[in-house]
Structure 1
Amino acid sequence: MEFDALILAGGRSSRLGGVPKSRLLYDGATLLSRALSAAAGAGAAVVVGPDPGELPSDVLTCREEPAFAGPAAAIAAGLAALDDSRGPQRAAMTLILACDMPKADQAVAALRAALADPGPDHAGVDGVMSASPDGRKQPLAGFYSTAALEHSVDEMEKSGGFAGASVFALLARLDVRTVTVPAGATDDVDTWDDAAALGVSRPRS
């Protein structure tokens, strides 16, 4: 399956004392590098957020406007950066992935398997998003129709803009199905207690 990838690495990390989530470590790698690894195979990838430091040469970067305007604004900025880079070569699907889920690779694998063998529940939909075994939806681990996403972005921009808008509001216009992913695959780091529970540590000095 051909896809592009949009990695969200912004946010204030206020409950982490301002330590960027992208630079936290899990199993010897930063959460950002793990997110990029989870997106391996993408035709193009863009990281949206503050300066992420050194990245592979083929990875794009951009920032939502204004800074810290929220994930919907970050998605809009990432789509624009991918469009500027790829133009008509854009893939039909776009992976949206937050960088604060250390086991996101497991979610991405489950989503790709569902798209490869969609069955009657997933055929012809605008995308698939992760859901934990207990039913918690995670829209920031999902594959979505690029055309449908861009249309939704255009409509949201016309109706008031992105600042403070939720991802669920952005995706409300899409026909999206959920895919149950392995337990823990979408557990994210919001606090130091979360980090400790997931085996995530502070960046090296």
Structure 2
Amino acid sequence: MDFDAVILAGGKSSRLGGVPKAQLRYDGATLLERAVAAARGAGSVVVVGPDPGTLPDGTLTAREEPPFAGPAAAIAAGLLALGHGGETQDGEEPSTKHAPWVLVLACDMPLAAAAVPVLLREVAGHQDTDGAMSVSGDGRKQPLLGIYRVSALQREVQAAGEERGLVNAAVFRLLARLDLLAVPVPAGSTDDVDTWDDAAALGVDGDLP
């Protein structure tokens, strides 16, 4: 299945005292490295957040405008960097590869790789939808671990930008008009790191590399 990936890695990590989530470690790798690995198979990958200088060759980078404007603004910046909407924010030429689907993944879910193939299979079998969103074992939807039709997502990003702006906009509201599959994913794959208690429960190391 032909898809690109937008990895969100630019939050303030307020409940971690400002320690960047992307650089926390799990099983010998940073959370950002694990997120990039989870996007295996993507044609192009863009990381929206500070560039750590250790990304694989060919990985694109972008920043939401303004920085720390939230995940909806970061999704918009990622689409722009992939070539959906003109020039990138730094003036570079955007990618010319336009996959019809995009994986959106927040970097703070260390076990997300288990969910990605499940989502891909569901979308491949239901290509009349606008995409698929992960659902945890207790029924919680996770929009930042999902695969979306680029044209539909770009339409909603454009509409939100024109109507109310994307700064600190709710992602669920951004996606509300899309026809999405709610896909149960493997246990733990949507568990994220918002607090130090979350990090301890998941075995995430707070010592930065």
Contact 1:45 1:59 in 2 (8 A): yes
Q: Which of structure 1's runs of 4+ aligned residues deviate more than 6 A?
A: none
Count of aligned pairs: 200
> Structure 1 residues 23, 149: closer, same or farther in 2, change over 3 A?
same
Which of the residues 83, 86, 102 maps onto 2:95? Answer: 86
Question: Which residue does the alignment assign to 2:25?
Answer: 25
Specify the code of the residue in structure 2 equivalent to 1:25: R
User: Alignment identity in percent?
Assistant: 62
Question: Which residue does the alignment assign to 2:163?
Answer: 159
**1:1-205 map, 5 Å:** 1-83=1-83, 84-87=93-96, 89-116=97-124, 118=125, 122-204=126-208
- Provide the rounded CA distance (Å) in 1 between the counterparts of 2:208 and 2:129: 43
- Unmatched segments (≥5 aa) in structure 2: 84-92
TM-score when normalising by structure 2: 0.92
1:134 Cα offset (Å)? 1.4
Specify the code of the residue in structure 1 equivalent to 2:159: E
Contact 2:119 2:147 in 1 (8 A): yes
1:86 Cα offset (Å)? 2.4
1:41 Cα offset (Å)? 0.9
1:172 Cα offset (Å)? 1.2
Q: Deviations for 1:84-123, whole angstroms, at most 9, x for unmatched residues?
A: 5324x3100000000000000011121122223x2xxx45
Q: CA RMSD in A?
A: 1.2
Contact 1:22 1:52 in 2 (8 A): no
- Provide the rounded CA distance (Å) in 2 between the counterparts of 1:142 and 1:43: 16
- Provide the rounded CA distance (Å) in 1 between the counterparts of 2:75 and 2:107: 13
Q: Deviations for 1:16-40, whole angstroms, at most 9, x for unmatched residues?
A: 1111100010000000010000001
